[in-house]
Structure 1
Amino acid sequence: MKTKLLTLAAAALLAACASPTLQIDRTHVSQNQDSRVQFLVLHYTVLDFEKSMKVLTTGGKVSAHYLVEENPARVYQLVDENNRAWHAGVSSWGTATNLNSSSIGIEIVNPGFTDSPLGRVYAPYPQAQIDQVLALSRQIVARHHIRSDRILGHNDIAPGRKQDPGPMFPWKQFADAGLIPWPDAAQVQIKQAIYQLAPVPDVNWFQQRLAQIGYQTPRTGVFDVATREVVSTFQMKYRPTNYSGDMDAETAALLEVATTPGGMLMKQPAPADSQARSPN
């Protein structure tokens, strides 16, 4: 009996020393917060659907939150939006670096480019696939309140190292959908006429303006390979018919308008019901 009493006493003592049950009051919510997701980054896969799915879901050390198939056009979620996917690699935009930690990545099934005797040829995107990417992007932007100037291509955040989603990606459709701003065409026309009659700005001007937008740009005053790659990346988005990387009059006009207050215009998104009725 004495041994039993000692055992009970010891158990009671241990119970008294145990940690209390954790109770968390969640009735008070701070107004001083936002989503950890600050960027939306768009890619192409360079692989077909089956290979893309395998690489993004197995041991390839690369992943994305979403994969968008081309035929049929279908969206697959591979990583929860609350988790970090490994899609951006070495990357930067403005003062932000290591964008895996603050972005959602969308991989789009597309073969990318092939090099031919006539030059590099990029593959087009089916419109039905783009419609899915647009719809998905709208939802992600709405959930996380992502700024319009932070909807980017992989090449924007890693110019030269990456080319995706390439010049065939229809960024203008994103502008028409009210997702990203676009250079005011009237202002661009006026500036281009001026630069066609006078010398275009020097490389220092180009480097400063590209860095102002957010591109990781050399500030050397030399038109080197790295600077040409950044110029080409800018052209892929805003003038995809010619992405030579040359500092010409039209590129200077686009760049000046893009970095001038009031130069970038935002369209109001169409109402949800009209979006639903719009043809693919």
Structure 2
Amino acid sequence: MQINPRITSLLALAALLTACTTTLTNKGTYYTDTSREAQYKDTRIRFLVMHYTEIEEKESLDVLTQQQVSAHYVIPDHPRQKAGEPIIWQLVPESQRAWHAGLSSWQGTTELNAASIGIENVNLGPIDTPQGRTWQPYPPEQVNAMIRLSKDIVTRYGIPPTRVVGHSDIAPQRKIDPGPLFPWKQLYDAGIGAWPDDATVAQELAGRDPHALADVQKLQQKLARYGYEVATDGVLDEKTRRVFAAFQMHFRPADYSGTPDAQTDAIAQALLDKYVPASAQEPARTAP
């Protein structure tokens, strides 16, 4: 049977018109046509930032919903459950900005509120006693909820390991949360965030005493390449110490004094070897 070319053309036109119609969305006072889609695009969400609340759950929710500070999620220290799954508070839609990071910087991006999701974990943080400072631990059920939520977020947005950070990483001059007891290694084991390989750290130490002093400028340069906002002038002032302490609290929480020791230097290099391409590991230039 011979098909009339005119009929074929009409059918093709009808199909095209139908396809176009299905991509039109009525916005009330105009239509949008989504039949064409740009190839070059990415998501607004590029970082995941962890916090602790320093106050109990009820007070945290009051503050985060009524004052000029907010977070996308709040994970209770002992989450309620439904059908065996943890219940997590969501206070801000992921499509909207939450006010959780403040003045901040990571990997050259500033004001991370605009590019991140913030998770507040109900935790009192530092507790000062007559015997000295202690820290409230993160209960297993909270860590379980944290892993479930974080895994979902980093998977959906393709957030790389080095962009799962603490408030102290992105604002080391004014913040110390989520503290030295935060379960970074457990998150890493679950596929969330970065962690150095022990074998590489040992190799980078190359027999050095872990407590021996490292070159301040070289350590500054390594942390700057990893993502921290830090001077690279070789001066061990209080600002640099705070950055060193933030890094240690994240990756070597047994000692976060801010002292630039050989073990800290080896951990920094191990992270660069694992996560940062060699082409991006050239030392940062210092001002004349």
TM-score normalised according to structure 1 size: 0.82
What's the offset of the Cα at 1:245?
1.1
What's the offset of the Cα at 1:179?
1.6
Match of 1:71 in 2: 78
SS in 1 for 2:205: helix
C-alpha distance in structure 1 between counterparts of 2:134 and 2:60, whole Å: 21
What's the offset of the Cα at 1:261?
5.1
Structure 2, unpaired ranges of 5+: 1-27, 81-86, 278-288
Match of 2:99 in 1: 86
Count of aligned positions: 244
Match of 2:113 in 1: 100
The answer (yes or no) to whether the contact 2:164–2:194 under 8 Å persists in 1 is: no
**Aligned pair in 2 of structure 1 residues 190, 117: CA closer, same or farther (>3 Å)?**
farther
2:237 matched to 1:230?
no
The code of the aligned residue for 2:164 comes to I
2:260 matched to 1:247?
yes
C-alpha distance in structure 2 between counterparts of 1:21 and 1:88, whole Å: 37
Match of 2:68 in 1: 61
The code of the aligned residue for 1:133 comes to M
Note the 1:1-280 alignment, pairs <5 A. 22-58=30-66, 60-72=67-79, 74-196=87-209, 200-260=213-273
Q: Which region of structure 1 is more displaced relative to structure 2, 174-183 or 188-197? A: 188-197
**Aligned pair in 2 of structure 1 residues 256, 23: CA closer, same or farther (>3 Å)?**
closer
What's the offset of the Cα at 1:98?
0.4
**C-alpha root-mean-square deviation of aligned residues, in Å?**
2.1
What's the offset of the Cα at 1:197?
8.8
The answer (yes or no) to whether the contact 1:47–1:111 under 8 Å persists in 2 is: yes
Q: Which region of structure 1 is more displaced relative to structure 2, 158-167 or 183-192? A: 183-192
SS in 2 for 1:188: helix
What's the offset of the Cα at 1:167?
0.5
**Aligned pair in 2 of structure 1 residues 76, 189: CA closer, same or farther (>3 Å)?**
same
**Aligned pair in 2 of structure 1 residues 239, 128: CA closer, same or farther (>3 Å)?**
same
Structure 1, unpaired ranges of 5+: 1-19, 265-280
**Aligned pair in 2 of structure 1 residues 243, 31: CA closer, same or farther (>3 Å)?**
same
SS in 2 for 1:114: strand
SS in 1 for 2:75: strand
TM-score normalised according to structure 2 size: 0.80
The answer (yes or no) to whether the contact 1:154–1:164 under 8 Å persists in 2 is: yes
